[in-house]
A = this chain, B = another copy of it.
Amino acid sequence: MNNPILVEVWRGPLVESRHRGAVAVVDASGRAACAVGDIAAPVFPRSAIKAFQALPLVESGAAERYGFGDEDLALACASHSGEPAHVAGVERMLAKIGLDASALRCGAHWPISQNAAAALARTGTPTALHNNCSGKHAGFLCLACAMGVDHADYFRPEHPVQRQVRAVLEDFTGAVLAEDVCAIDGCSVPTWAVPLQSLAYAFAKFGTGRGFAPKRAATAARLREACARQPWFVAGTGRFCTEIMQKFGERVFVKTGAEGVYCGALPELGVGIAVKCDDGAARAAQAIIAAVIARFLPLDLVAYTRPVLRNWNGFEVGSIRVTDAL
C-alpha cells in the first residue's frame, strides 16, 4: 500500500521534498477515529513507548521504594537532550539505588542539545549519562534492584526486567510480541514492531486507563501526571514534547520515537494517536502529530504544523507544510 504524502517541504516557489506516512487515531475500545494510510503495517515504536517501559518500575512499587519523584519518573519516560539538569537528574536516580553511571548499558552519545554538546566538549566527552535514554535505563536498574536480581544484563530480552516490560507492552497493545517482530533499539534494549493501530490503541488505554486493571490504570495516570508536571525532563529546551506538555499539561501527552514515530494521547477525548513517517523523518512526524492534535482539540499549533525554514543567515527560505491528505 502506498501511504499518502502528508508533509511537503517547500523551498521558494516549489516543493523540494515530500514525506509519506500513516496516522492512526484509536479509542480505548479499539475503534478508529481517524485512519490515514496503512495502519495495519508493523512499526517499531522505538522511544515513543518509554512511558510503557517505565510502567513496571512504578506498578511494582520500586519507584516509591527508592523515592523516585516526578522528575525521576519524567526522566524514566524521556528522550532527554542531555542538558546539565537531565544528566544530574539521572545521576540522582542512580544514587538513590546505590549505583552510578558505570551500571548504565545504553552506550554513550553526544547530547541532543547542541548547546549542551558544545559545553560538554569544553570539559570532556559524553558518557552513558548523556545518552537520551539514560533515564529509562536508570528506571530499569531501579526495577532490577527492587526485584533483587542481578542487574548486569538488564537490557537483554531474557532478563526479568525486559520480560516484565514485554508483558506490559503486550497488555497495552494487544499484540503478540514474538521474535519475528523483535529487533534491537539504539540503546540496546529490545524493540518489538506492532501495527500502527495497535500503538494508537495502547496510547488510548494509557491516556484513559480504560481496559486496564485498576492498579495499572492508576500507574498510567501517575506517569502521565509526572510528565505533565515535569515536561522539561521528558525532552528538553525547545523540544516539541516538552513545549506541548508545558502548554497543555495533562490534556496532551506526546512522545517522539526514532525513525519518524510520534505517539500521543488526548485523555479528554479518550483517543490515542500513532504516527509513522515512512522515511523516518522527525521533521515530518512532528508536523503530522501537531496537525492531528490540532484537528481533535482547538489548540493553536500552527508554529508546529507549518514551521518556517531559515538558512544560516536567518533568511526565510521555505516552510514545512502538512498536506490536505491528513
Contact = CB atoms under 8 A, between A and B. Distances in A.
Interface of A: 2, 9, 11-14, 16-20, 42, 44, 105-110, 114, 117-119, 121-122, 125, 131, 179-188, 191, 193, 259-260, 278-281, 284, 311-315, 317-318
Given A16-B44, A260-B17, A311 B184 contact: yes
B312 A188 contact: yes
Closest 10 CB pairs of A and B: A12-B183, A107-B312, A121-B121, A17-B280, A279-B279, A118-B121, A107-B313, A11-B183, A184-B317, A186-B311
B311 A185 contact: yes
Given A9-B280, A117-B121, A281-B279, A186 B312 contact: yes
Given A2-B2, A9-B259, A17-B279, 5 more contacts: A9-B280, A17-B280, A119-B121, A186-B312, A280-B281
B105 A313 contact: yes
Contacts of A191: 11
Given A110-B114, A121-B118, A188-B315, A13 B183 contact: yes
Nearest to A188: B313
Contact of A13 (B109, B110, B131, B180): B180
Contact of A317 (B118, B183, B280, B318): B183
B317 A278 contact: no
Contacts of A110: 114, 118
A42 B18 contact: no
A182 B278 contact: no
A12 B182 contact: yes
A285 B2 CA distance: 20
Nearest to A190: B12
Contact of A11 (B44, B117, B278, B317): B44
Contacts of A131: 312
14 contacts: A11-B183, A11-B191, A13-B181, A16-B193, A18-B278, A18-B279, A20-B20, A20-B279, A107-B313, A110-B118, A118-B121, A119-B121, A186-B312, A188-B311
Contacts of A260: 17
Nearest to A318: B183
A17 B122 CA distance: 36
Contacts of A106: 312-313
A193 B14 contact: yes
Contacts of A125: 118
